Amino acid sequence: MELENIARRIREFEGLTRKKQISGITSIFESVKAEYKNCIVGFGDDAAVMDVDGDDYLLFAADGVWGKIVDASPWWAGYSSVLVNVNDIAAMGGRPLAMVDVLSTSDKKTFDDILEGIRDGIAKFGVPVVGGHLHPDTSYTSISVAILGTVKKDCVLRSDTAKKHDSIIAAVDLNGRVGPNSPYSWDSTTMKTAGEVQRMYQTLVEVGRLKIATACKDISNPGIIGTLGMMLEVSGVGADIYLKNILIPENMELEQWLLVHPATAFILTAPPGNEDVVIDCFEKVGMTAHVIGEITSTSSLNIYEGNNSATVFDFKKDTITGITMK
């Protein structure tokens, strides 16, 4: 494999590059940051963490489905709108409570397909849609969902807290198939029972409760390495990744897998000595978890194959979202 070519493909992958506009959005709100009195964690993580009365934090997140996915398969877009939002709450160590959606379309068939996908997602993940908004007369189609969850105040998993010398663990459900709309999507949930799927997501609650991980982020459209890059950027650290340690599904090339949104999948960091406990939590529910590298004090994310290496991101000059929380 040409490491430089792999690094370039990851940097230029649309699932990653479309994140770059985020910093321009967040910078607009800098002047009113003082008004975020109850916000413990805001921009830069999978969900905002809000301080409310009691022993729990409130988790608040939103996600819109990529237009290309909506066009390719409206049912899958509706289903995925539930999946990706549940991922965001799970990645924080939380339990999802409920969702609201915003649906825009004037096409009746598309409308029905998206809603059927959302319905099937609710049945699979056990999280209800309790309201929302409909635009029935638009010239375009889009679906976005917001979600609420809770997490115990001493059990939050954050993505900006990766530390030097931590081991990096990829936890993925490899038991699936390429999704219906793109070679870069992965379906590991539709063929499983609701109980099987929900137990996988509850694993993150256990990881948070045991306090065995220092950071966590759900692997999304940027893929495994791109998502790790987002974690490194907000944590102000670097990483060395050993490609031979990344496990992949049967009949798929590593280069493709590195760009896949793998449905139920998370990047975690853990102090040396905690790796086996983290891995065991995921393997108990049928997921695959493996140490793929370590956090460094450098400003770069490097990939290795044997004695060869290539730099994917140098955060002295490269940005993904442009958000740093250090």
Torsion of CA 285, 291, 294, 299, to 10 degrees: -70
**Full strand arrangement of the beta sheet holding 300-305:** 215-218, 265-270, 167-172, 288-296, 238-242, 300-305, 308-314
Residue 255's alpha-carbon distances to 88, 182, 260, in angstroms, are 25, 15, 9
* Structural contact between residues 214 and 162, judged by C-beta atoms closer than 8 angstroms: yes
Give the per-residue pLDDT at 326. 52
Nearest CA to 318 among 30, 27, 26, 19?
A: 19
Tokens 């309790």 found at: 130
Verify that 300 and 174 share a domain, yes or no: yes
Give the per-residue pLDDT at 265. 97
Out of 152, 182, 209, pick the residue that ends a domain.
152
Give the per-residue pLDDT at 26. 78
Verify that 230 and 262 share a domain, yes or no: yes
Residue 158's alpha-carbon distances to 35, 37, 75, 89, 235, in angstroms, are 22, 19, 31, 11, 10
Give the per-residue pLDDT at 116. 98
Give the per-residue pLDDT at 31. 79
Which tokens go with 73? 């398969």
Nearest-Å Rg of the Cα atoms of the chain is 19
Out of 133, 152, 171, pick the residue that ends a domain.
152
Verify that 49 and 125 share a domain, yes or no: yes
Q: What is the CATH number of the domain that holds 266?
A: 3.90.650.10
List alpha helices for the chain, DSSP H: 3-12, 14-17, 22-28, 67-72, 74-91, 108-125, 194-210, 223-235, 254-257, 275-283
Domain presence at residue 31: no
Q: 4-12 long-range contacts, Cβ below 8 Å, gap at least 24?
A: 4/310, 6/243, 6/255, 6/258, 6/303, 6/310, 7/303, 7/310, 7/311, 7/312, 9/255, 9/258, 9/259, 10/223, 10/225, 10/226, 10/258, 10/259, 10/312, 11/312, 11/313, 11/318
Verify that 133 and 186 share a domain, yes or no: no
Task: Quote the CA–CA distance of 264 and 287 in Å, as a whole number.
Answer: 9
Verify that 191 and 221 share a domain, yes or no: yes
Give the per-residue pLDDT at 1. 56
Name 217's bridge partners.
267
Average pLDDT per run of 10 along the chain, which is 326 residues long?
91 92 80 82 92 94 92 94 98 98 97 97 98 96 98 97 98 92 90 98 98 97 96 97 96 94 96 98 98 96 95 95 75
Give the per-residue pLDDT at 325. 64
Determine the structural domain holding residue 66 and report its residue range. 38-152
Q: CB neighbours of 60 closer than 8 A, spacing ≥ 6?
A: 47, 48, 50, 146, 147, 148, 149
Domain presence at residue 224: yes
Domain presence at residue 326: no
Out of 105, 125, 152, pick the residue that ends a domain.
152
Verify that 262 and 126 share a domain, yes or no: no
Cα dihedral across residues 295, 213, 179, 182: positive or negative: negative
How many domains would you assign to the chain? 2
The overall pTM is greater than 0.85: yes
Verify that 162 and 310 share a domain, yes or no: yes
Verify that 233 and 125 share a domain, yes or no: no
Q: What is the CATH number of the domain that holds 122?
A: 3.30.1330.10
DSSP of 10-31, one letter per residue? HHH-HHHHTTTTHHHHHHHTGG
Task: Quote the CA–CA distance of 146 and 126 in Å, as a whole number.
Answer: 15
Verify that 171 and 283 share a domain, yes or no: yes
